[in-house]
Amino acid sequence: MTGPAATDADRRAPDGTGPRAPRGSAPRAVPPPAPWVRTRLRATPLSALLGAALAFVAVLLAAALPRAMDRGTDQALRSFLESRGPSQTSLNVTARPRYGEESAQNLDEVLATLVSRTAPGFAVAPAGPVHGSAAGPRPLVNPGLTAPDGVPPQMSLYHLRTASEHVRLVEGHWPGAPATAPGSPVPVALSQSAAKTLRIRVGMVLETATGQDLTTMKAEVVGLYAPNDDAEDYWTDLTCLLRACLSMTTTQPPAAFWSTDALVAAEALGRLTYWGEANTKDFWRIPVDTGSLRADQLPATAKAVASYVTGPTAARLTQETHRDDLRVASHLPEQFALAEARRQAAAPLAAMGPAGVAGVAFVVFCLAAGLTGDRRESELRLLLARGGSRAGIVRRLLAENAVTVLPAAALATALAVLLLPTPRSQGTVLAASAATLLALLAVPVRAFVLLSPKRPPGPRRRLVAELLVLAATAAAVFEVRSRGVAPAGAGVDPLLIAAPLLLALCGGLLLARLQPALVGALARAAGRGPGLLGFLGLARAARGTGGRARPSVLPLIAMLLAVTTGGFGATVLTAVADARFEAARAAVGGDAQLTAPGGTLPDALTSAAAALPGVRSSVKVWTDDNVFLYGTKTGSTQISVVVADPEEYAQLSAAAGTARFDPALLAPGAAGTSGTSVPALISRDLADDDTSGFQLRLENGGALKLSVVGVVTGTPARPGAKYTTVVLPAPQVLAAIPQMGLPNTWLALGAVDQHRLEQVVRTADPAGGAERYRVRTSSAAAAELGSDPLQRSAERLFWASLAGAAGFALLAVLLTLVRAAPDRAALLARLRTMGLRPRQGVQLILVESVPLALAAAIGGGLLAVGAVALLGPAVDLSTLVGTQVPAGVPVLVRPVLTQALGLAALVAGAVLAEAAISGRRQITTELRAGDQR
């Protein structure tokens, strides 16, 4: 028998809120709500992945740029100090010998004390210190020794504690303890090269002149040695221990004589005092390890070195070594100051590129946040309408972003640290944290603004903001132009870096106001034509999408920032390359120079050089610096004379940029000349003299009467002339003085390869051409000027920053296209139903996007030119050029045009690709779904 059917009341739960569980079964648990973050990430995996990728790229660039700058400055510092050589980067310690107590052990103990005080500010170079004792010199009076001008050679004695590790014995034996008998010679070892030069043999006893104490010393040569490596840093300032050195006396006229140094044993230290008398010293040269120095620690290192030289450390060293006359000298303080000045001079120019990347990246994140906010606005407003709070919604979005951004940022930072190792991490952490914070907060901040109560439109607020930006830009530009790149020695100049960005921002705001009106006028003009694509595209470009009254200003600002900073930086680098080439050309005297110091150039050599590929023109020149000009205010003046063909030399002078003159002034029978005088161009310092009585006396005995026909400010053959310069025509001079002989200088214009010119010299003189002739080219000189790691680092950093800025600008355009995609797809779907062909749809998208690219290219180019014109005079390029050049950056159209057109072409290609790839799919989706708007 069955019971009555259960009623609805029987099936309810005891509390009446839900159905009662069936009899005999357990109640079912209500499932918990799904986690917000997991649900959202699963719902939009592609958006989450793109957001993580954007954060990864931004944080990677932010973390890598400071590390690249640190590595570049460290490398530049070390290279600069290494190029100065050990003599400029060592601590040179000297003291008087301890009479009667001199020993090798004491020299080693003092060295240990000196080395122990170098840490922690700086370390000793791996090559190690050089220490010992030196005495001398004394003249050698043995007959038969080499004496060029009758002056006997001189010899000094050295005891080097580690010399045996750097030389090898080639004849005889090493010196030992000297004999104790009065007048016994000191055993010495001499270099094989010096012995050959001075005609000294093993076993020879060298006699010396009587010293101030009326004693006569002797030295016996017991062995000859040769260095293991004569280019080793160990021999810095000790070259006379390797070979005989030719010196000149201080008498008038000066006379040449040979000097050399010899090695003695430790047992002979007591005899050095008698040999050198007052010229005896103990010395310790401690080379500083430049490879371990860091640019950020340079002030502390300089302070430690200064203390070592003349500060508290030096006082402690005097006490600890028990040498009251201990003296420490070093060129390191001035080298540190020079290196720091170079770094600070290049810092503003090196920081412009990263600043531009940062500005464009900020705009891109704003665009990405705007795109995300537009797509999720309805969702966020629904949550707010169902009781959610703005703070709660923002916290959920922050947590959602953290899941994707933080791992990507951590991975990017780790990758930057791994790829660019450097001991400094503060800049990396700060830059990566700033980029991470921007990626993390962009969407939540945008959501907070969207959910805030709407305020009535305020056009005055926008106008006030724009006026504030304009005022800040004007103030920055005025300040930079007024004071230059300042304060001097302060490193990065914030105003110089911010001024181009502010100019780009002002240009973007101005174009944002002008673009709708201009494009609208073009749309109205296109509407009068037969086609509709131009009118529709331009009309959409003139107004905003998604109900906006005007186009978004952010993509325009992004592109303007990229073009302006890129154009400004490219102009600076182009000006650096041009200035470097001009400086090299001026230093060489043209594009190629071939000289014969102390000799002449054969006709066969100059003819072969003139026949080289790339030589456009060449000129033979006679130069002489040992010429006296009579008839000046002082009676006679030592001058430099340049004799050359007027036509060819005038062309060379104009091309080299040293000076221009009319070759007709030096032609035979020129105005102001007579039959017995030679026309001459004089340097400006002689222009105030009475030139009517000028006469030249050449070193070869020739004499010339001059007729001054003009003034020159410089001459290619003597770009850095020590004396006053006079330029003379070759035909008249050679006719008056036949003994002039062959020229000693050859100058040329054209693309001359230095290796080919050197090969010509070796072919002409295989035996001694490399030593007899000197070859220089402007291309090699320019490459040498640009070989500084400081310059290369700044250039590499700029081009890397430019690539990053262009990439972010392109991403800004793509985000703008994606943001407008729904509205554009709906329009294209409607037009497809009216017969629009797919190709016409692509054309419509291109017409709609062209105004943005053109406005950015034209506006960015004009802003870059304006930035160079306004800020260029305040920029000093000497540090980047490698030599002193006049301050200022000229306005160059080509680099700016290249940047603008390149970015415009890149944007056009991206627009075309986006239209071809996604346009048809979006249209098909709209046609299937129907119009829901």
Rounded Cα distance, 210 and 749, in Å: 60
User: What integer is the mean pLDDT of 905-912?
Assistant: 80
The string of pLDDT tens digits covering residues 575-602 is 888 888 888 888 888 889 998 887 888 8
pLDDT, one tens digit per residue, over 538-548 is 887 777 655 55
Does residue 4 have a pLDDT over 70?
Answer: no
pLDDT tens digits, 253-311: 678 899 999 999 999 998 888 888 888 999 999 999 998 898 888 889 999 999 999 88
DSSP state for residue 669 in the 8-state scheme: T
Burial 859-893 (b: 16+ CB within 10 A, else e): bbbbbbbbbbebbbebbbbbbbbbeebeeebeebe
**Half-sphere exposure (Cβ direction) of 470: Cα atoms closer than 13 Å:** 10
Alpha-carbon distance 827 to 540, whole Å?
Answer: 10
Distance separating alpha carbons of residues 310 and 908, to the nearest angstrom: 65
Would you state the torsion angle of the CA atoms of residues 31, 35, 38, 41, taken in this order, to the nearest 10 degrees? Answer: 110
Q: Which structure tokens are listed for 606?
A: 């100059």
Confidence of residue 195 (pLDDT cuts 50, 70, 90): very high
pLDDT at 329: 93
Minimum mean pLDDT range among 27-31, 214-218, 590-594, 705-709: 27-31
Confidence bin at 513 (pLDDT 50/70/90):
confident
Mean local confidence (pLDDT), 910-918: 71
Mean pLDDT of 868-886: 80
DSSP 167: E
Between 154 and 700, whose confidence is greater? 154
Confidence (pLDDT) at 113: 93
Q: Are 65 and 797 in contact (CB under 8 A)?
A: yes
Question: Residue 33 pLDDT more than 70?
Answer: no
* Most trustworthy range by pLDDT among 24-28, 839-843, 927-931: 839-843
| 717 — pLDDT class (breaks 50, 70, 90) | confident
- pLDDT greater than 90 at residue 171: yes
Distance set, CA 246 to CA 151, 192, 213, 768 (Å): 11, 16, 27, 20
CB 606 within 8 A of CB 594: yes
Question: Is residue 425's pLDDT more than 60?
Answer: yes
Q: How confident is the model over 116-127, as a mean pLDDT?
A: 85
Helix pair 459-483, 494-527: axis angle to 10 deg: 130
Helical packing angle, 838-871 and 893-929, nearest 10°: 150
3: pLDDT strictly greater than 50: no
Average pLDDT over residues 66-89: 88
- Pairwise CA distance, residues 438 & 368, whole Å: 11
Q: Is the pLDDT of residue 829 over 50?
A: yes
Q: Which two tokens stand for residue 9?
A: 């009341």
- The CA distance from 498 to 822, in Å, is 37
What does the pLDDT average to over 527-532? 75
Q: What tokens does 78 get?
A: 């070390």
Q: Which residues contact 642 (CB under 8 A, 6 or more apart)?
A: 621, 622, 623, 649, 715, 717, 718, 725, 726, 727, 728
What pLDDT sits at residue 21?
Answer: 47
Written in H, E and C, the secondary structure of 301-325 is: HHHHHHHHHHCHHHHHHHHHHCCCC
**Residue 98 exposure: Cα atoms within 13 Å on the Cβ side:** 14
Q: State residue 931's pLDDT score.
A: 46
Question: Could you give the C-alpha distances from 352 to 135, 358, 471, 507, in angstroms and in order?
Answer: 56, 10, 21, 18
Q: With pLDDT > 70 as the criterion, what percentage of the chain qualifies?
A: 89
The percent of residues above 90 in pLDDT, for the chain, comes to 20
Lowest mean pLDDT among 220-229, 433-442, 758-767: 758-767
pLDDT band at 213 (very low <50, low <70, confident <90, very high): low
Rounded distance, CA 67 to CA 84, Å?
Answer: 26
Query: Looking at residues 827-851, what average pLDDT do you find?
Result: 76
Count of H-run helices and E-run strands, the chain: 26, 20
- Range among 6-10, 416-420, 506-510 with highest mean pLDDT value: 416-420
Q: How far apart are CA 748 and CA 588, in angstroms?
A: 10
Residue 702, amino acid: G
Question: Could you please report the per-residue DSSP string of 755-780?
Answer: HHHHHHHHHH-TTTHHHH-EEEEHHH
> What does the alpha-carbon distance between residue 498 and residue 648 come to, in Å, rounded to a whole number?
49
Residue 621 in this model has a pLDDT that exceeds 60: yes
Which pLDDT does position 354 carry in this prediction? Answer: 86
Contacts of 403 (CB under 8 A, 6+ apart): 37, 41, 48
634 pLDDT band, cuts 50/70/90, is confident
Strands 327-329 and 745-750: unpaired
Q: How confident is the model at residue 5 (pLDDT cuts 50, 70, 90)?
A: very low
Mean pLDDT of 127-147: 90
Q: Say how far apart CA 233 and CA 239 lie, in whole Å.
A: 11
DSSP tag of 235: G
Compute the average pLDDT of residues 478-489.
Answer: 66
Mean pLDDT, range 752-763, rounded to an integer: 87
Chain centroid to CA 804: 19
- pLDDT exceeds cutoff 80 at 537: no
* DSSP 8-state symbol, 329: E
Q: What is the pTM of this model?
A: 0.76
**CB contact at 8 A, 186 and 263:** no
3-class DSSP state for residue 220? strand
Higher pLDDT, 633 or 857: 857
Nearest to 247 by CA among 177, 149, 340: 149
Spatial distance between the Cα atoms of 77 and 84, rounded to a whole number of angstroms: 11
Q: What does pLDDT average to over the chain? A: 82
> Which pLDDT does position 457 carry in this prediction?
65
Question: Rounded to the nearest 5 degrees, what angle is found at the Cα of 746, between the Cα atoms of 610 and 730?
Answer: 110
If one compares 68 and 825, the residue with the highest pLDDT of the two is: 68
